[in-house]
Structure 1
Amino acid sequence: MNEISPARFYRDNGYALLRGLISADEARAYREECHALLARLSPSDPTWGSARRIAGGTELRHCHDAQFYSAAFARLIVDPRFTDVAAELIGSGNVQLHHTKIFVKPAEKGSPFPMHQDAAHFPHTRHTVGAAIFHFDDAPEEKGCVRVVPGSHRQGPLPHVEEGGWHLPPSSWPLEEAVPVEARAGDVLFLDYLTVHGSGVNRSDEARTTLLVQFRDPEDLPADDVHRSRGQGMMLRGVDPLAGSRG
C-alpha cells in the first residue's frame, strides 16, 4: 500500500507531523539558543487565565518575534526543509510569515492551552494560514504535547468564548478527548489554523521547548486588523504577488 503523503494527510486531517525535519543535533542547539535568549529577556508569562483556573500554579516562558533577537531563528524560518513543506501544504509556491513565538513549558508546571482554533485570533479571507511547531526536545504526552481533533478544520471557523483566554468552551471541547501528537526532538508539527487543538500540563522533570512559526499564502489577506507582529509580511519562500498594491 502506498504511504499517504504529508500534504494529503494534512488536507484530510488538518495536521501533519514531519519526523526528523531537522537533526537531533540541530534541535539541541536550537533548544540551547531558546533558553539562552529567554534568560536575557525580562520574564513574561502568557498563560491564559482560564488555564490558571484549570491547572493552578503553572507557568510559561515565551518570546515573540524570535528572529529579531537571534540570527539562528532568522536562518531557520527560511530553511528550505521547512519552507518547501509549508509551500506544499498551503498549495502555493509563495510562503509569507505571519509571526513567530518561542514557547517553553517549564518542568513539572508547564501551563496548558485549552482547545482553540488559531483562526479565532487572526482570521484570514482564504484560510491558508498554517502553523509549524518545531520541537527542540522530546514532547511525550506527560510533557504536555499538542493534542488535535482530526478533521475539525473542515467545520470552518467556530465560535470562541472569552473566559480568561479566547478559546472553545471546555465543556464542549475537552482537552482529554483530543488526540495527543507526541513528538521527538527535530520533529515539526504542521497545523491548519482551523484545526482545533490544545495542549496539556507539562508534568515531567524536563522543560518542553518549541518554536511556533505561523505562515500563509501572501494573497490570503487578513479579515481583521489584529495580531500584528514586527516580522509580519516577510517572504520566507517565493515572492509577494501583491507587492506594490498594498496600502
Structure 2
Amino acid sequence: MVDEPQLASYAAAYAENGYVLVKGLLDRAEARAYREESHALIERLNRDADPTWESARHLGMGERTELKHCHDVQFHAAAFSKLLVDPRFTDVAAAVMGTPNVQLHHTKLFVKPPEKGSPFPMHQDHPFFPHAKHSVGAAIFHFDDAPLEKGCVRVVPGSHRDGPLVHQAEGSWHLPFAEWPLDKAVPCEAEAGDVLFFTYLTVHGSGVNTTSEARTTLLVQYRDPADRPTEDLHTHSLGQGMILRGVDPTSRGTAAAAM
C-alpha cells in the first residue's frame, strides 16, 4: 500500500507536470515474473502482425523497426487480471485523477525487440478516445529496465495544460514532426518495477530500442467512470468498463432488480 502523504505528492506532480514516475511500485522479482509472463504470452500468440505506426517509420534511423504487442492481456493470463486491481496501482490512479473510482479503458502489452524496437512519434492519446472531462490517464508498467538506449518514454512536462492539440492523422495520430521533435522531449528512464502515470493530454513518444535486450511494458488506460467519451472511438476493447477501484456511480440496476 502507498501511504497518504506519498499519494498526495504523486497527485501534485501529476497535476503540475502531467505525469509522475512512481519508483519501485513493483519489486524487481515481481517485474521479472511479469516479464516472463509477457514474453510467454507473445510466444503463444505467435502473431506476424506488426503494430508499428507508419508515422513512426521516419524515426527508425533508416532501418525498418519492429514491435510486438497484445491487446486485452487480462483475457490471456490471470496474472494481469490480478495486477489491474492491485491497490498499489489503483490507489495511485485514483489519487492522480482525484476520484475514488477507477474504471478500465483498455490494456496493451508492448515488446520492443532488441536492436530494432519501434519508436512512437510525439502525440497525445486524446485523439484516439476523447472524453468530456479529460480524466483519462495511462500507467506504463516497466517489466525490465528502460534506459534511453532502449527507447524509453519521453514527455513534454506541462503540455497537458494546453488541452487537446491538433494532430495529423497520416499513419496514426501524431503531432507535426518539425514542431514536436522526439529528441527535445524529456526522457523518463525507468527501472524494472517502475510505473509511469500520465494524462491523455500529456504529449509523449518514445525512441528506438537499439540495445541487445527487449523492452517490455504494459500500458493500462484508466478513467473516472463518471467521465464519458465524446466520440464512439476505441470501444472494441474487451473488459472496457470494468471497475478496478471503488464503484461506478453512473450504473443503474436492471428493470427486474427494481421491481
**TM-score normalised by L of structure 2:** 0.92
Bigger Rg, which one: 2
Describe the shift of the 1:179–1:230 C-alpha distance in structure 2 as closer, same or farther (beyond 3 A).
same
Instruction: Please identify, of 63-72 and 163-172, the stretch whose mean Cα deviation from structure 2 is larger.
Output: 163-172
Question: Which of 5, 9, 16 does residue 13 from structure 2 map onto?
Answer: 9
Match of 2:120 in 1: 113
Q: Could you say what secondary structure the match of 2:225 adopts?
A: coil
Can you list the C-alpha shifts for 1:102-149, whole angstroms capped at 9, x where unaligned?
000000000000000001110000000010000000000000000000
5+ residue gaps in structure 1? none
| One-letter identity of the residue aligned with 1:99 | H
Matched, 1:217 2:221: no
| One-letter identity of the residue aligned with 1:64 | H
Matched, 1:244 2:248: no
Match of 2:239 in 1: 231
Match of 1:34 in 2: 38
Question: Which of 214, 228, 233 does residue 207 from structure 1 map onto?
Answer: 214
Runs of 4+ in 1 over 4 A off after TM superposition: none
CA RMSD of aligned residues (A): 1.5
Match of 1:45 in 2: 50
Q: Offset at 1:163?
A: 2.2
Match of 1:130 in 2: 137
Cα distance in 2, alignment partners of residues 105 and 234 from structure 1? 28
The size of the alignment, in residue pairs, is: 245
5+ residue gaps in structure 2? 255-259
| One-letter identity of the residue aligned with 2:250 | L
Percent identical pairs in the alignment equals 68
Describe the shift of the 1:245–1:130 C-alpha distance in structure 2 as closer, same or farther (beyond 3 A).
farther
Cα distance in 2, alignment partners of residues 52 and 113 from structure 1? 9
Can you list the C-alpha shifts for 1:71-114, whole angstroms capped at 9, x where unaligned?
00000010000000000000000000000000000000000000
